[in-house]
Copies of this chain bind each other. A is one copy, B any other.
Amino acid sequence: MTATPHRVVIVGAGFGGLETVYRLAGAPVSVTLVDRRNHHLFQPLLYQVATAALATSEIAWPIRYLLRGRPEVTTLLATVTGVDAEKRCVTLDGGDTLPYDTLVLATGARHAYFGHDEWEPFAPGLKTLEDATTLRRRILIAFEDAERESDPQRRAALLTFVIIGAGPTGVELAGTIAELAHDTLPPDFRNIDTHKARVVLIEAGSRVLAGFPDELSAYAQRSLESLGVEVAFGQPVTDCTADGVVYGDKRLEAKTIIWAAGVRASPAAEWLGAPADRAGRVSILPDLTVPGHPDVFAIGDTVTINGPDGSPIPGIAPAAKQQGRYVANLIKARLRGETLAPFIYKHAGSLAQIGRRLAVIDFGRVKLRGGLAWWVWGVAHIYFLIGLRNRLSVAMSWLWIYTRQQRGARLITQGRAKVSNYWP
Contacts and interface: CB of A to CB of B under 8 A. Distances in A.
Contacts of A236: none
Interface of A: 36-39, 55-58, 60, 62, 64-65, 67-69, 71, 73-79, 93-94, 96, 110-112, 117, 120, 128-131, 133, 140-141, 144-145, 147-148, 187-191, 264, 266-267, 387, 389-390, 392-393, 396-397, 400, 406, 408-414, 418-420, 422-424
B414 A130 contact: yes
Given A148-B78, A392-B396, A422-B110, A189 B411 contact: no
A38 B422 contact: no
Contacts of A71: 190
- Of the candidates A110, A390, A406, the one having the most CB atoms from chain B within 10 angstroms of its own CB is A406
A411 B38 contact: yes
A133 B424 CA distance: 21
The 10 closest A-B pairs by CB, nearest first: A77-B144, A62-B410, A55-B57, A130-B420, A64-B188, A68-B187, A57-B409, A38-B412, A74-B190, A110-B423
Contacts of A140: 38
A233 to B, nearest CB: 28
Given A78-B148, A390-B408, 7 more contacts: A64-B189, A75-B147, A79-B419, A117-B422, A129-B413, A130-B413, A389-B400
A247 to B, nearest CB: 22
A413 B117 contact: no
Contacts of A57: 55, 408-409, 411
Nearest to A112: B423
A93 B260 CA distance: 33
Contact of A148 (B56, B68, B96, B422): B96
A148 B120 CA distance: 33
